[in-house]
Amino acid sequence: MKKKWSVLLCSLLLVGMLAGCGKEENNAAPVTTEPATTSDTTAPAAAEESGKYADGSYYAEGEFDADSGWKPYIVLTVKDGKIATADWNFVSSKGGPDKKAVDKAGNYGMKEKGGAQAEWYEQAETAEKFLIEKQDPAAITLNDEGKTDAITGVSIHVNDLANLSKKALDAGPIEPGTYKDGSYHAEGDQFDADSGWKSTVDLTVANGKIIYAFFSGVNEAGDDKQAYSIDGKYGMKEKGGSVAEWHEEAQTAQAFLIEKQDPAAITLNDEGKTDAITGVTIHVTDFVTLSQKALEGAK
């Protein structure tokens, strides 16, 4: 009998010891394993550490407005993750300087003609400063007319500023070109004795690249050659059997220059024409030489 109790007692003691060991193990602090450190580990991007956006240049453009003839564009620069500069502007389908240049020269006249409290370019600059301050295009809240109550002193339409800023930032930074931003003009020395036209070229550079080119001409009556052709007064198809009108071929040449970014890409033959641009049969010597002349100021 004593032997049975001894066996039972030993069994109970053994169970208690095991239970105690299990309880002690459950109460122990969890063991954590540090992630292995290797030479492949990379630091967070600079933009994530210091700001919202990646450093660099940003660009976006809209379409020509059917009524006004203006096409909007914007250039943004980001430094240390933040929008540092903003240039919101327009080019005209009729040629000539950009909208800010036209306005600063006194040829837009919002104050004189419309009774505005400030000129267009002044309001545009105020809106640009607001974007830089807020660092978010969404801060420019818009009403149904494309205007905003968010920016004091700005009564102009700012929907293009808000929308193109977002478009540019969403697309990410792009490599800038080598030209100096601005509008550039060059024209021939005299009216051609045979045709009566004097060639003109207007170029606009933004983010260092040619974004706009307008090849046209003017006669002594003050007519614009592209407009003259659009109105059917030039008549290359009707009078010369051409497959396209003069303004259509001129616009094809313009697009080629914007694509190539160098007037020298338009190679010329002895007649002053080119085989480099499909569909262009007009003389383009003046387009090449005047584009080169205009870009002298952009270097």
HEC assignment per residue over the chain: CHHHHHHHHHHHHHHHHHHHHHHHHHCCCCCCCCCCCCCCCCCCCHHHHHCCCCCEEEEEECCCCCCCCEEEEEEEEEECCEEEEEEEEEEECCCCCCHHHHHHCCCCCHHHHHCCCCCHHHHHHHHHHHHHHHCCHHHCCCCCCCCCCCCCCCCCCCHHHHHHHHHHHHHCCECCCCCCCEEEEEECCCCCCCCCCEEEEEEEEECCEEEEEEEEEECCCCCEHHHHHHCCCCCHHHHHCCCCCHHHHHHHHHHHHHHHCCHHHCCCCCCCCCCCCCCCCCCCHHHHHHHHHHHHHHC
In the chain, the amino acid numbered 62 is: G
Note the pLDDT of residue 90. 98
Note the pLDDT of residue 143. 97
Q: Locate the domains of the chain by residue range.
A: 48-171, 182-298
pTM (2 decimals)?
A: 0.80
List the one residue out of 128, 37, 91 whose CA is nearest residue 202. 91
Measured CA to CA, the distance from residue 187 to residue 198 in angstroms comes to 7
Note the pLDDT of residue 292. 98
Note the pLDDT of residue 246. 98
Domain pair 48-171 / 182-298, same fold: yes
Q: What is the pLDDT along the chain (299 residues), one digit of tens a residue?
A: 444 434 433 343 333 433 444 433 333 333 333 333 333 333 333 344 447 999 999 999 999 999 999 999 999 999 999 999 999 999 999 999 999 999 999 999 999 888 899 999 999 999 999 999 999 999 999 999 999 999 999 999 999 999 999 999 999 999 999 999 999 999 999 999 999 999 999 999 999 999 999 999 999 999 999 999 999 999 999 888 898 999 999 999 999 999 999 999 999 999 999 999 999 999 999 999 999 999 999 99
Residue with tokens 């030039």: 234
**Structural contact between residues 98 and 89, judged by C-beta atoms closer than 8 angstroms:** yes
In sequence order, what are the residues at sequence separation of 6 or more whose Cβ sits closer than 8 angstroms to the Cβ of residue 148?
Answer: 140, 141, 142, 154, 158, 162
Note the pLDDT of residue 243. 87
Query: CATH topology for 182-298?
Result: Sufe protein. Chain: A (3.90.1010)
**In CATH, what number does 48-171 get?**
3.90.1010.20
117-130, pLDDT tens digit by residue? 999 999 999 999 99
